[in-house]
Amino acid sequence: MTDTRALRDAFGAFLTGVTVVTAVNGEGAPIGFTANSFTSVSLDPPLLLVCLAKTSRNLPTLMAVTGFGVNVLSEGQKNVSNTFARPVEDRFAAVEWKEGPHGSPVFNDAAAWFDCSVHERIDAGDHVVMIGRVEAFDNSGKTGLGYARGGYFTPALTENKLLANVDGAVEIGAVVERDGQILLVPSKLGGWTLPFFDKPDVAQPALEPLMVEQLGVNVRSGLLYSVYDDSETGQHRVVYRAALGDGQPEIGRMFPLSQLPLEDVPNPAVRDLLKRYAQESTLNEFGIYFGNQEKGRVHAVANRG
């Protein structure tokens, strides 16, 4: 006979995101519960699934509804996850929400949300698999909240640990991407480089206003990408990933990832960083490099925001 507790602990080794599944019951009231048994199923047609325990008090509602929502929580929504995992009287008081285009409750500050019609229900042991067809969705670009072995994690924890080792003169920069193209700016040595700024505060929120001021377009900074010592500049360099908004940057030029002018990038550390970014983009799996311009280590980061 299977040791169910041991099996549950083994399943818990898998790093997941955290979602809140929502719906509207027969009385018109919103219901919701925390779930990490969520995955995408298909792009065409657009399908996803969540699993619901047959012991859940929400089962009768989910078996009767014609649609449901899935809210992928952002890294700052741990309290929301805890609230919707407990028998709280008014769970929705803990979050700002609205009615989605297809009628299910969706959260304003989520990393992403999906408003679905019920595509299929599948009986699966002590759970019911709910397959939803995505009727509407939104992606805020925020980093998702992670969960593994009974605890939460976020990429920010990895970032803070790495940045704790950085002191002295610092330049902060970004790999700025839009539609498969990278923004490069003129280098003082000739050729091209990434946008870099002298900044004592290396925290990610400091980057956006600096880039907007210099580039003249909106830029949304994301996860940490590289922390290294550059002997050519004599500085520490902290590089983030970033997404370029609409409009033409006032400086620099956009280059396709497959056609980066690496031979015209004079700084070898920046050249190697761009090579790695192009390679990792093909798999959409990015890590954080920590070291110097010659050697270091890429730290895997569970992300999917």
Task: Supply the pLDDT for residue 52.
Answer: 93
Reference 219, options 241, 237, 202, 192; nearest CA is: 241
Does residue 34 have a pLDDT over 70?
yes
Per the CATH hierarchy, to which homologous superfamily does domain 159-304 belong?
A: Nucleoside Triphosphate Pyrophosphohydrolase (3.90.79.10)
Reference 219, options 175, 280, 273, 171; nearest CA is: 175
Torsions phi, psi for 291 (to 5 deg)? 165, -135
Average pLDDT of the chain to the nearest whole number = 84
Contacts of 159 (CB under 8 A, 6+ apart): 204, 223, 224, 288
Task: Supply the pLDDT for residue 230.
Answer: 72
147-183 pLDDT, tens per residue?
776 777 665 555 555 556 555 567 888 999 999 999 9
pLDDT confidence bin for 134, thresholds 50/70/90: very high
Tell me where in the chain the CATH 3.90.79.10 domain(s) lie.
159-304
Task: Supply the pLDDT for residue 225.
Answer: 84
Tell me where in the chain the CATH 2.30.110.10 domain(s) lie.
19-144
Contacts of 285 (CB under 8 A, 6+ apart): none
- Are 50 and 104 in contact by the 8 Å Cβ rule? The answer is no
Task: Supply the pLDDT for residue 305.
Answer: 34
Task: Supply the pLDDT for residue 229.
Answer: 77
Higher pLDDT, 257 or 166: 257
pLDDT confidence bin for 8, thresholds 50/70/90: confident
Give SS3 for 204.
Answer: helix
Higher pLDDT, 219 or 114: 114
Task: Supply the pLDDT for residue 204.
Answer: 56
- Are 36 and 147 in contact by the 8 Å Cβ rule? The answer is yes
Q: Which residues of 185-206 are buried (b: 16+ CB within 10 A; e: fewer)?
A: bebeeebbbbbbeeeeebebee
175-223 pLDDT, tens per residue?
999 999 999 999 988 999 999 887 655 555 667 888 888 888 988 877 7
Q: What single letter denotes the amino acid at residue 1?
A: M
Higher pLDDT, 267 or 155: 267
Task: Supply the pLDDT for residue 254.
Answer: 95
Does residue 140 have a pLDDT over 90?
no
Percentage of the chain modeled with pLDDT above 70: 83
Higher pLDDT, 293 or 148: 148
Q: What CATH architecture is 19-144?
A: Roll (2.30)
pLDDT confidence bin for 281, thresholds 50/70/90: confident
- Are 211 and 219 in contact by the 8 Å Cβ rule? The answer is yes
Reference 106, options 20, 186, 182, 171; nearest CA is: 20
36-91 pLDDT, tens per residue?
899 999 999 999 999 999 999 999 999 999 999 999 998 889 899 999 998 877 89
Whole-number Å distance between alpha carbons of 106 and 76:
16
Averaged pLDDT, 249-275: 93
Q: What single letter denotes the amino acid at residue 249?
A: P
